[in-house]
Amino acid sequence: MALITTTEMFAKALNSDYAIGAFNVNNMEIIQGIAEAAQAENAPIILQVSAGARKYAKPAYLRKLVEAALEDSGIDAALHLDHGEDFEICKSCVDDGFTSVMYDGSKHPFEENIKITKQVVEYAHDHGVVVEAELGRLAGVEDAVNVNAREATFTDPDEAVEFVERTGVDSLAIAIGTSHGAYKFKGTPYLDFERLKKIHALLPNTPLVLHGASSVPQDFVELCNKYGGNVPGAQGVPEEMLSEAAKHGVCKINVDTDLRLAMTVEIRRVLTETPDVFDPRKYLGPGREAIKKMVQHKIRDVMKTSGK
Ligand code: G3H
Ligand code: 13P
Ligand code: ZN
């Protein structure tokens, strides 16, 4: 029924074998689908909003839609800013009632990342809001197969310790081989579990976060393309790798692409099979159901948070 921070959910997830699903929201049907899935599974959940989503739906709509979803479903959830690129957007979301913000300074040099993360932490903590930051850069497809590129882009364990100590950040997004979007690996999927275990051993009390964690199910890609889509490639993160990561300090797993895919496949199917449809409710409704089904699957089979 209420917006909550991630503090308690992460404390429970940290030494468990599950992670909290963080799902990106952009409109009413997506918010409803996710909230209904969390309600059905009785699972903790994070609703996250990118700068692009805020621009698309407008901040007031998103906030009110999330409030309505909590009221309707009776669930608690964290409302999180995804990939805040500067202090201003983090401040704006704190002022807007978000319970968690991410400052993503991963593209900046180490000292610059620390400096701005610290500013965000100071402001957010003064307002009872928690902060996620990122160290290391998510791999491009080439980076994950090239050892030198891995060393250059993946999170350095010792730097992670220094970063957390100096910033006071609440959780840390790390780069171990995942990447955003629908095409993540060339050849065999690879996550650097040795690096993850080392980071977790050095930072046993810091909840770790995996971005770019969609699995991009091949059958969804094929269906989407069957109904006239043109989704390039596939190659997401195998779901069992995510469940494994949850056993080694990963407390938050971000999924957006798989929701986009699920909703788009269903809308394309309805419009292809019933070309006379022109009532948006006739395709957005099934789109919402597809979101719910995908999120329930993630909660139950990947995050393992049903009933938690
Ligand atoms: O990691 C990024 C999320 O998938 C959000 O994407 O910036 O297109 O809303 P977006
Ligand atoms: P995907 O593109 O793999 O869904 O990642 C989403 C994400 O990391 C949002 O921050
Ligand atoms: Zn991300």
Q: Which residues of 195-221 are buried (b: 16+ CB within 10 A; e: fewer)?
A: bbebbbeebeebbbbbbbbbbbbeebb
CA of 211 to the centre of ligand 3 (A): 4
CB 245 within 8 Å of CB 211 = no
Length of the chain: 308
Q: So what's the pLDDT on residue 149?
A: 75
Q: Is 188 exposed, middle or buried (0-12, 13-18, 19+ CB in 10 A)?
A: exposed
How does pLDDT run along the chain (308 residues), one tens digit per residue? 799 999 999 999 999 999 999 999 999 999 999 999 999 999 999 999 999 999 999 999 999 999 999 999 999 999 999 999 999 999 999 999 999 999 999 999 999 999 999 999 999 999 999 999 999 998 776 666 677 777 789 999 999 999 999 999 999 999 999 999 998 888 889 999 999 999 999 999 999 999 999 999 999 999 999 999 998 867 899 999 999 999 999 999 999 999 999 999 999 999 999 999 999 999 999 999 999 999 999 999 999 999 99
Taken in order 181, 6, 205, 240, the sign of the CA dihedral is negative
In terms of Cα–Cα distance, which of 168, 249, 268 is closest to 210?
249
DSSP for 106-129?
A: TTS-HHHHHHHHHHHHHHHHHTT-
Atom 1 of ligand 2, nearest CA residue: 212
* Binding pocket residue ranges, ligand 1, CB within 6 Å: 24, 50, 52-53, 82-83, 180, 256
Tokens 């979101």 sit on residue: 291
CA of 181, nearest ligand number: 2
CA of 307 to the centre of ligand 2 (A): 24
Q: Answer whether 84 contacts ligand 2 (Cβ < 6 A).
A: no
CA of 185, nearest ligand number: 2
CA distances from 206 to 13, 196, 249 (A): 11, 12, 8
What is the Cα–Cα distance from 130 to 132, expressed in whole angstroms? 7
Known catalytic residue: 301? no
Which residue out of 48, 49, 83, 132 has the highest number of ligand 1 atoms within 8 Å of its CB and is therefore the one to mutate? 83
Q: Which residues of 10-47 are buried (b: 16+ CB within 10 A; e: fewer)?
A: beebbeeebbbbbbbbbbbbbbbbbbbbbbbbebbbbb
What is the Cα–Cα distance from 285 to 213, expressed in whole angstroms? 26
The phi, psi pair for 261, rounded to 5°, reads -65, -50
CA of 22, nearest ligand number: 2
The ligand 2 atom at the shortest distance from the C-alpha of residue 181 is 2
What is the Cα–Cα distance from 302 to 243, expressed in whole angstroms? 5
Q: So what's the pLDDT on residue 3?
A: 96
Q: Answer whether 212 contacts ligand 2 (Cβ < 6 A).
A: yes
Q: Answer whether 82 contacts ligand 2 (Cβ < 6 A).
A: yes
Which residue out of 104, 191, 256, 261 has the highest number of ligand 2 atoms within 8 Å of its CB and is therefore the one to mutate? 256
Compute CA 41 distance to the chain's CA centroid, rounded to the nearest angstrom.
18
Task: Tell me the three state secondary structure of residue 178.
Answer: coil
Q: So what's the pLDDT on residue 145?
A: 66
Catalytic choice (17, 72, 76, 82): 82
Task: Tell me the three state secondary structure of residue 83.
Answer: strand
CB 239 within 8 Å of CB 215 = yes
In sequence order, the 6+-apart residues with CB closer than 8 A to the CB of 272 are 227, 228
The ligand 2 atom at the shortest distance from the C-alpha of residue 258 is 4
CA of 256 to the centre of ligand 2 (A): 5
Both tokens of 262, joined, read: 């699920």
